[in-house]
Chain A
């Protein structure tokens, strides 16, 4: 079967981006292998680990469960958009200070997910943070330092 490629026009981290993709390619694979943004990670490929979390039009999603073809005309944010010329995003800084990562494979997903929370709710309770991050798994840290880091940013904002 010959399948035509799809032309996708989107905005990623504020910059217009166009690419060609096969229709059965996930957004995660398109980001990593076509666009060259390898910050989003592949953990499970079934929506459980959240390592592939990106935001589409301000909503966090697992990019392994989105087709690249779907994001035509949408506004994406990935972990690559968090740091600016002025330095790290406050969440990234707090993750470093609180030792909220060890191997780091889960970190981009946690950062994008936590940003999704703080962008809408600058002052969440610890319970709310834990609930919000339930779709992200970490095999190394035991979560405590991740929660601490997010709380720290919320308290300082």
Chain B
């Protein structure tokens, strides 16, 4: 690997100071499953790698009635090994159990997945449909933005110079909430999505949908929050007929490209099929 210095600060403040001082020449490392591959591939020319896993706040999970706060260096397995989190945050768990294989899940997490900002990232759609807020810290203080505003282009995110992602806050929607994430890949495991959809619904005791969120991956320059399809569902009965209409709208909200993994038509078709599937699965999870 290209020579770099290894820094392992113990506070966010210290990490931000290092990142601010070194600018483009330093990058945070959470699990390193993207970063170390990218460094080997020559994508970055770094003087310093800032390991953020020695900052206790960034590797811890807080889970209570109000919601979940995931430090930006928390690894996938920390989530799916917790029964309570698995029950209340099913969309996140769908992603945590399919990012890479077990070796990758031991190290990588949602923070790195989000910051890396690839259009095919499996973690970002689920974060969007769980109404996640990204908590950011820089030299001038802290700020929070909805996760759907975090990715600004392929591999680009909303972080400014010296800023880093500190944590992800995810509300606990309680009873009546269901979510699901599915991707289409040619293999069973260890592959990049041709198209993928995350969905969530909150259903009242009257059987009507009061909140809905649908997010699409691998069908645009960033993961897409399908707002029209989501809004369409509000006030509708939670059933297959409503889901079918929403799926058709979601199809119109994607803007895929054609590449070796799939054609535009195939991807649009997949969005419709997987939207319907994940909405049905969300409902099953509420009822089950």
Residue B145 interfacial (CB < 8 Å)? no
Chain A positions within 8 Å of B, measured between CB atoms, are 1, 3-4, 6, 22-26, 45-48, 50, 53, 56, 59-62, 64-67, 69-70, 113, 116-117, 131-136
- CA gap between A64 and B1 in the complex, in Å: 11
Q: From A3, A69, A131, A135, give the contact of B104 (CB < 8 A).
A: A135
Is B107 in contact with A65, judged by CB distance below 8 angstroms?
A: yes
Task: Using A59-B77, A64-B36 as known contacts, list a sample of 15 further A-B pairs with CB atoms less than 8 Å apart, ordered by residue number in A.
Answer: A3-B4, A23-B4, A46-B40, A50-B103, A65-B33, A66-B32, A66-B107, A67-B49, A70-B6, A70-B53, A113-B102, A113-B103, A134-B189, A134-B190, A136-B101
Q: Which residues on B sit within 8 Å (CB–CB) of A113?
A: 102-103
Residue B2 interfacial (CB < 8 Å)? yes
Residue B5 interfacial (CB < 8 Å)? yes
Most buried by B among A53, A66, A113, A135: A135
Q: Which residues on B sit within 8 Å (CB–CB) of A135?
A: 100-104, 190
Which partner residue on chain A sits nearest B51 by CB separation?
A: A70
Q: From B36, B102, B106, B189, give the contact of A67 (CB < 8 A).
A: B36
- CA gap between A56 and B102 in the complex, in Å: 13
Q: From B29, B49, B51, B106, give the contact of A60 (CB < 8 A).
A: B106
Asked whether A65 and B36 contact (CB < 8 A) given A60-B106, A132-B102, A134-B101, the answer is yes
Q: From A3, A25, A47, A67, give the contact of B103 (CB < 8 A).
A: A47
Within the complex, the shortest CB–CB distance from A10 to chain B, in Å, comes to 15
Is A47 in contact with B37, judged by CB distance below 8 angstroms?
A: yes
Produce 1/0 per residue, B189-228, CB < 8 A to A: 1100000000000000000000000000000000000000
Q: Which residues on A sit within 8 Å (CB–CB) of B31?
A: 65
Q: Which residues on A sit within 8 Å (CB–CB) of B107?
A: 61, 65-66
Is A65 in contact with B32, judged by CB distance below 8 angstroms?
A: yes
Asked whether A24 and B32 contact (CB < 8 A) given A47-B37, A50-B101, A62-B104, the answer is no
Is A45 in contact with B40, judged by CB distance below 8 angstroms?
A: yes
Within the complex, the shortest CB–CB distance from B108 to chain A, in Å, comes to 9
Within the complex, the shortest CB–CB distance from A7 to chain B, in Å, comes to 12
Residue B47 interfacial (CB < 8 Å)? yes
- CA gap between A117 and B3 in the complex, in Å: 35
Most buried by A among B6, B100, B101, B103: B103
Q: Which residues on B sit within 8 Å (CB–CB) of A48?
A: 190
Within the complex, the shortest CB–CB distance from A154 to chain B, in Å, comes to 16
Q: Which residues on A sit within 8 Å (CB–CB) of B77?
A: 59
Within the complex, the shortest CB–CB distance from A61 to chain B, in Å, comes to 5
Asked whether A26 and B103 contact (CB < 8 A) given A46-B40, A65-B32, the answer is no
- CA gap between A25 and B51 in the complex, in Å: 14
Q: Which residues on A sit within 8 Å (CB–CB) of B65?
A: none
Which partner residue on chain B sits nearest A136 by CB separation?
A: B101
A-B contact pairs, 9 of them (CB 8 A): A24-B2, A24-B4, A61-B103, A61-B107, A64-B36, A66-B32, A67-B29, A113-B103, A132-B102
- CA gap between A136 and B104 in the complex, in Å: 11
Q: Which residues on B sit within 8 Å (CB–CB) of A117?
A: 102
Is A47 in contact with B104, judged by CB distance below 8 angstroms?
A: yes
Produce 1/0 per residue, B1-41, CB < 8 A to A: 11111101000000000000000000001011100110010
Q: Which residues on B sit within 8 Å (CB–CB) of A131?
A: 189
Q: Which residues on B sit within 8 Å (CB–CB) of A64?
A: 36
Q: Which residues on B sit within 8 Å (CB–CB) of A25?
A: 1
Residue B188 interfacial (CB < 8 Å)? yes
Q: Which residues on A sit within 8 Å (CB–CB) of B188?
A: 134
- CA gap between A62 and B47 in the complex, in Å: 24
Is B6 in contact with A1, judged by CB distance below 8 angstroms?
A: no
Is A65 in contact with B37, judged by CB distance below 8 angstroms?
A: yes
Listed from nearest, the 10 A-B pairs whose CB atoms lie closest are: A135-B101, A23-B6, A134-B189, A59-B106, A69-B6, A135-B103, A24-B1, A134-B101, A62-B103, A61-B106
Q: Which residues on A sit within 8 Å (CB–CB) of B102?
A: 60, 113, 116-117, 132, 134-135
Q: From A24, A45, A65, A136, give the contact of B3 (CB < 8 A).
A: A24
